[in-house]
Amino acid sequence: MKILVDTHTHTSASAHAYSTLEENVRHAADIGLEAIAMTNHAPGMPDAPHIWHFMNMAANIPREIGGVKILYGVEADILDTDGTLDIEAGVLSMLDVVIASMHRDTFTPQTRKAHTQAYLNVLQNPYVDIIGHSGSPDYEYNVDTVLALAKKEGKMIEINNNSHLVRRGNIENCKHIAQRCMELGVYVVVGSDAHISCNVGNFSEAVNMLSEIGFPEELIANTSLDKFLSILRQRKLVGGL
């Protein structure tokens, strides 16, 4: 199982990450990745870059550096049960990859019903592509209900490698979510959630888990750039690649 696109990476534009975009790209090239998405936190998070960081990506960042394609993206924060995000639609429309995640800094854990409603509403946001690291025990939700809508809306569920390293309490939940994605036919993406360049393209824990449950490669959206773009383009325009 080979993952050739890292759909979730952070740079030093986010205060809690440690490498520049070019350092991330250099490592991606060294390990043979086709593309990476730069997905720093949206402005609601304390460590987030200024909104201009996202607005100016297309004007300043080339589509390819050192043989690696660059996808413009964001890890947006879900703020409430209405599925409100901390970045406006006009900016989201400029980006290739929009991950929507729950974080304690922006969404205080509530009930299973509330978390489910938040995910259902955010999945109906036309700019959201991926539900990020949803295996946290703090944010339990009705997995089957959310996955059914994700499939209907053509959205992807992230299997986050970092959850297996720094959020160890997530592992069994992540396995259950992956199992149900497999059974329901929902696309997943495997993301490193790298906060330093040496972890870009590190999918080992997530891939091992997927292999353990016999997850089919055809449901992994980012095994190649062509496949990932094809899935994105079923519901949005992605130009310049």
Its CATH architecture, for the domain 5-232, is Alpha-Beta Barrel (3.20)
All structural domains of the chain with their residue ranges: 5-232
The pair of three-digit structure tokens given for residue 240, joined into one six-digit string: 């310049």
Res 167: pLDDT:
64
Show the 3-state SS of 32-90.
CCCEEEECCECCCCCCCCCHHHHHCHHHHCCCEECCEEEEEEEEEEECCCCCCECCCHH
* pLDDT tier, 240 (very low <50, low <70, confident <90, very high otherwise): confident
SS3 category, 100: strand
Average pLDDT estimate for 14-29: 98
Q: In this predicted model, what pLDDT tens digit does every residue of 111-127 receive, in sequence order?
A: 999 999 999 999 999 99
- Arithmetic mean of pLDDT, 141-159: 99
The two tokens of residue 121 are 């509403």
Torsion from C-alpha of 38, 39, 45, 51, nearest 10 degrees: 70
Of 149, 204, 213, 160, nearest to 182 by C-alpha is 213
For the cut 70, the answer to whether the pLDDT of residue 168 exceeds it is no
Tokens of 160: 């986050």
pTM more than 0.95: yes
Percent of the chain having pLDDT more than 70?
A: 99
Cβ–Cβ contacts within 10 Å for residue 158, how many?
A: 29
